[in-house]
Amino acid sequence: MKISDFISKKSVALNVHPSDKHEAIDMLIDLLMTAGAVKDKEVVRRDVLKREAQGSTGLSNGLATPHAQDSAIKKTSVSLITVPEGVEFDSIDGKPARLIVLFAAPMQSRDEEMTEMGRLAVILMDNDFKESLIKAQTVEEILKLIDAKEEERAKAEQPEVSENSKIIAVTACPTGISSSFMAREALKNCAAKLGMNVRVEVHGAAGVYHALTEEEIKNADAVIIAASKKVPISRFDGKLMLTTAVGTAMNKPEQLFDRLKAGQGQIFHATEDDEPFTSKLYKKIKSIFS
């Protein structure tokens, strides 16, 4: 399975001219309807706009990644439009969006499918690659560029376990389709530029990716929680912790490392409320039969 498997030729439109953000979103959903991936446009539209209300998916340098996960989506799919002259998308840098990619997934999606969605989100962060997509003249060229980039990245990927990381992190977003993966990539790239190493666990729509090991947590000095939904944190008891929204890690990662360096985190002391429900249930059952 590869990223392009989720992109129908019918779900890509090049050099389009939406008048505003809402029309761009409508275009993307219409493309998915044409490709047979959506059974109720209004439900998907409502879900996309709900996510936008939580924080715009208009990122920097002309990229926007709206997304939705609901029962009106029949299969995990991607639609894509290029808008060379740009369209206002409430982007964090105030610039218009020129490449807009809609990530869509049904309520129950296979782990492998969501992994591919995450990979697409990550490669879109490569500015040169993004620009090549915007300049593409045919749908076939778009698909070839994505295949080539995915293959290039697969060859460069390194093993995820690193017991020597002094900084670890957890990323999570409400839908868990793209933002949490992009936040992970931003943290890793920023750490590399600063001559540091960070291990990042991702909470996505289908579960946990790149899970931190007990040994990694034990050896770490600090943890960054970049999450816009609740994640289990009791395992980080006694660690220097910095908490923020997933968007901050995605868009301003260096700020987080600077804050840690300045000693702005706090030592975290776990309480029962920080423990995952499954752990609480296990302890309760154990107490009954002990």
Portion of the chain with pLDDT greater than 70, in percent? 89
- Per residue in 21-66, pLDDT (tens digit) is 999 999 999 999 999 999 999 999 999 999 898 888 998 899 999 9
Q: What is the band of 273 on the pLDDT scale with cuts at 50, 70, 90?
A: low
Is 190 known to be catalytic? no
The beta strand positions in 106-232, using DSSP E, are: 167-172, 198-204, 207-209, 222-227
Decide if pLDDT at 124 tops 70: yes
Q: Which of 173, 177, 246, 256 is catalytic?
A: 173
Q: Where are the beta strands (DSSP E) in the chain?
A: 12-13, 63-64, 67-69, 77-87, 97-105, 167-172, 198-204, 207-209, 222-227, 240-244, 266-267
Please report the DSSP string for 129-150 in residue order: HHHHHHH--SHHHHHHHHHHHH
